[in-house]
A and B are shown apart, each in its own frame.
Chain A
Amino acid sequence: MLSFFLRRAGEGVIVMLFVTIITFFLVNLAPGGPAVMMRMDMTAEQRDALARRLNLDQPVHLRYASWFGNAIRGDLGRSVNDNRRVNEIIGQRLPVTLNLTFWSLLVAVAIGVPLGVAAAVWRNGPVDYAASVLSVLGLAIPSFWFALLLILLFSVTLGWLPSSGMRSVGVGFDVVDRARYMVLPVTVLATSALPFMVRYTRSAMLSVIAEDYVRTARAKGVRERGVYFVHAFRNALIPVVTQVGLLIARLIGGAVVTETIFGWPGMGRLAVEASNGRDFTVIMGLTVVIASVVIVTNLLVDLAYGLIDPRVRHA
Chain B
Amino acid sequence: MPDIDPALQRAPARSGVRLAARRFARNRGSLVALMFLIFVHVAVVVGPVFVQHAPERTSPRNALLPPGPVHLLGTDELGRDHLARLLHGGRVTLAVGLFSMVVSLVVGTVVGSVAAFFRGTLEALLMRFTDAMMAIPSFFLVLVAITVLGNSPAMVVLVIGLTSWMVVARVVYAEVLTYRTREFVNAAEALGARQMRLIVRHVLPMTVPSLIVSATLGVAFAILIETAISYLGLGIQPPVASWGNMLQNAQQYIWLSPMLAVWPGVLTMLTVLAYNLVGDGLRDALDPRTAR
> Chain A interface (Cβ within 8 Å of chain B)?
11-12, 14-16, 18-19, 22-23, 26-27, 29-32, 132, 135-137, 139-145, 148, 152, 196, 199-200, 203, 206-207, 210-211, 238-239, 242, 246, 249-250, 252-254, 256-257, 260, 268, 271-272, 275, 283, 286-287, 290-291, 294-295, 298, 305, 309, 311-312, 315
Contacting residues of chain B (104-150) with chain A, CB-CB under 8 angstroms:
119, 124, 128, 131-132, 134-141, 143-145, 147-148
Residues of A with C-beta under 8 A to B227? 142, 144-145
Residues of A with C-beta under 8 A to B269? 137, 140-142
Contact stretch, chosen from B49-57, B83-91, B174-182? B174-182
Residues of B with C-beta under 8 A to A311? 178, 181
**Complex contact B144–A275 (CB within 8 A):** yes
User: With A15-B132, A23-B140 given, is the CB distance from A144 to B228 under 8 Å?
Assistant: yes
**Complex contact B135–A253 (CB within 8 A):** no
1/0 per position for B187-220, CB-CB distance to A under 8 A? 0000000000000000000000110010001001
Interface of B is mostly: helix
**Pairs across A and B, CB under 8 Å, 19 listed:** A11-B131, A14-B128, A22-B132, A23-B144, A139-B273, A142-B224, A142-B247, A142-B269, A148-B254, A196-B217, A203-B210, A210-B289, A242-B170, A249-B135, A253-B139, A268-B139, A287-B140, A294-B134, A311-B181
Most buried by A among B139, B167, B265, B280: B139
Residue of B nearest to A272 (CB): B232
A203-B174 Cα distance, complex, nearest whole Å: 14
Residues of B with C-beta under 8 A to A295? 131, 135
**Complex contact A238–B174 (CB within 8 A):** yes
A131-B291 Cα distance, complex, nearest whole Å: 22
A30-B144 Cα distance, complex, nearest whole Å: 7
- Number of B residues near A (Cβ < 8 Å) is 56
Chain A proximity of B2: nearest CB distance (Å) = 17
Confirm or deny: B40 has a beta carbon within 8 angstroms of a beta carbon on chain A. no
Chain B proximity of A194: nearest CB distance (Å) = 13
User: With A210-B290, A291-B136 given, is the CB distance from A31 to B231 under 8 Å?
Assistant: no
Confirm or deny: B80 has a beta carbon within 8 angstroms of a beta carbon on chain A. no
User: With A31-B147, A298-B131 given, is the CB distance from A256 to B265 under 8 Å?
Assistant: no
**Complex contact A140–B270 (CB within 8 A):** yes
The 7 closest A-B pairs by CB, nearest first: A140-B272, A291-B135, A210-B289, A142-B227, A140-B273, A140-B269, A144-B231
> Chain B interface (Cβ within 8 Å of chain A)?
119, 124, 128, 131-132, 134-141, 143-145, 147-148, 167, 170-171, 174-175, 177-178, 181, 209-210, 213, 217, 220, 224, 227-228, 231-232, 244, 247-248, 251, 254, 261, 265, 268-273, 276-277, 280, 283, 287, 289-290
**Complex contact A136–B134 (CB within 8 A):** no
Chain B proximity of A267: nearest CB distance (Å) = 9
A148-B247 Cα distance, complex, nearest whole Å: 11
User: With A142-B228, A145-B265, A239-B171 given, is the CB distance from A207 to B138 under 8 Å?
Assistant: no
User: With A271-B137, A275-B144 given, is the CB distance from A203 to B131 under 8 Å?
Assistant: no
Chain B proximity of A237: nearest CB distance (Å) = 11
**Complex contact A257–B251 (CB within 8 A):** no
Residues of B with C-beta under 8 A to A239? 171, 174-175, 210
A142-B254 Cα distance, complex, nearest whole Å: 16
